[in-house]
Structure 1
Amino acid sequence: MTRKQKRLAIIAGAIGFLGSAVGLTLYALGEQTSYFYMPGDIAERPVSAGQRIRLGGLVAKGSIRRADDTRVHFAVTDGTDTVAVRYNGILPDLFREEQGVVTEGVFGEDNVFVADTVLAKHDENYMPREVADSLKEKGVWQED
């Protein structure tokens, strides 16, 4: 094998290695991606069961039902559409009706969103930007 062929083989091997590394990285990131949806988005384009998403909006008034243990059922709304949510865990202290919330999880076979993470707004002036923008578009939420 000549010097030129060795050099070409090394370059080809390096390009193959880098291509594989980039491909594996993109695949791994794609598996961890969770897309943000509002209840209206889900009504327009239903999400398949088992697909991991973030669901944001306002906690619907009168929808919070607590079980004897840490299970909680509530609904997330954007003013027009509502999605039922089931959560098993301790809710943030600021979680309450008609407040901004972002939940992360999957839809179950019964079309109820099963959340494994619930994030509530942290003070009276904060609303997650994605949620605020979507609610402002629909005319449901307005800044003071």
Structure 2
Amino acid sequence: MTRKNRRAAFIALGLAILAVAVGLVLNAMRDNIVFFYSPSEVAEKALGPGTRIRLGGMVEEGTLKHIGPTTVSFNITDYTKTVSVSYTGILPDLFREGQGVVAEGMMTPDGAFVADTVLAKHDEKYMPPEVAAALKKSGRWQEGEGGKPLAKTP
């Protein structure tokens, strides 16, 4: 084997090892990636049970129900579609009906959503960026006074 052939073989072997390493890293990261969806996107994509996602939208008025000491159910809506959510844990202090929320968890076989994390907005001017984008996309968003975001009523 000539010196040129040995160098080409060494470079090819190095690239093959690098490709395998990148493939393994991407495969390991795939399990940790959580995608954001609005209720309309959940309905469109028909996500399978056990799919881990972030679901964002507005907490629908009149749907918050306390089932037990730490278990609640409520609906998240983007004013086009609605998804039923159940959550066991302590809700954030600023969580309330009519406010923006992002819940992280899994879809159930019956199309409901079981959340293990619930995030609420932190002041009256803040809306999670994903929720704001989903509401703007559905046409249910408008800017209020002083740039304060307002969700249009249905």
TM-score by length of 1: 0.89
DSSP-derived class of the 2:143 partner: coil
Deviations along 1:48-84, one digit per CA (max 9) or x if unpaired, are: 1111111110000011111232111111001121100
Aligned to 2:62: 62
CA distance in 1, matches of 2:137, 2:38: 12
CA distance in 2, matches of 1:138, 1:4: 61
Q: How many residues get paired?
A: 144
Measured after TM superposition, the shift of residue 87 of structure 1 is 0.9
DSSP-derived class of the 2:41 partner: helix
Of 95-104 and 29-38, the range deviating more from structure 2: 29-38
The alignment's C-alpha RMSD in Å is: 1.7
CA distance in 2, matches of 1:43, 1:33: 20
Aligned to 2:129: 129
Using the aligned pairs only, state the percent identity: 55
Aligned partners of 2:48 and 2:109 also within 8 Å = no
CA distance in 2, matches of 1:136, 1:2: 64
Of 28-37 and 47-56, the range deviating more from structure 2: 28-37
Deviations along 1:2-34, one digit per CA (max 9) or x if unpaired, are: 544543443233212111111111112222222
Structure 2: gaps spanning 5 or more residues: 145-154
Aligned to 1:102: 102
Measured after TM superposition, the shift of residue 143 of structure 1 is 2.5
Aligned to 1:28: 28
Aligned partners of 2:56 and 2:103 also within 8 Å = yes
CA distance in 1, matches of 2:43, 2:110: 15
CA distance in 1, matches of 2:139, 2:2: 71
Measured after TM superposition, the shift of residue 111 of structure 1 is 1.7
Deviations along 1:33-56, one digit per CA (max 9) or x if unpaired, are: 222111111222211111111111
| Matched AA of 1:142 | Q
| Matched AA of 1:109 | P
Structure 1: gaps spanning 5 or more residues: none
Aligned to 2:17: 17
TM-score by length of 2: 0.84
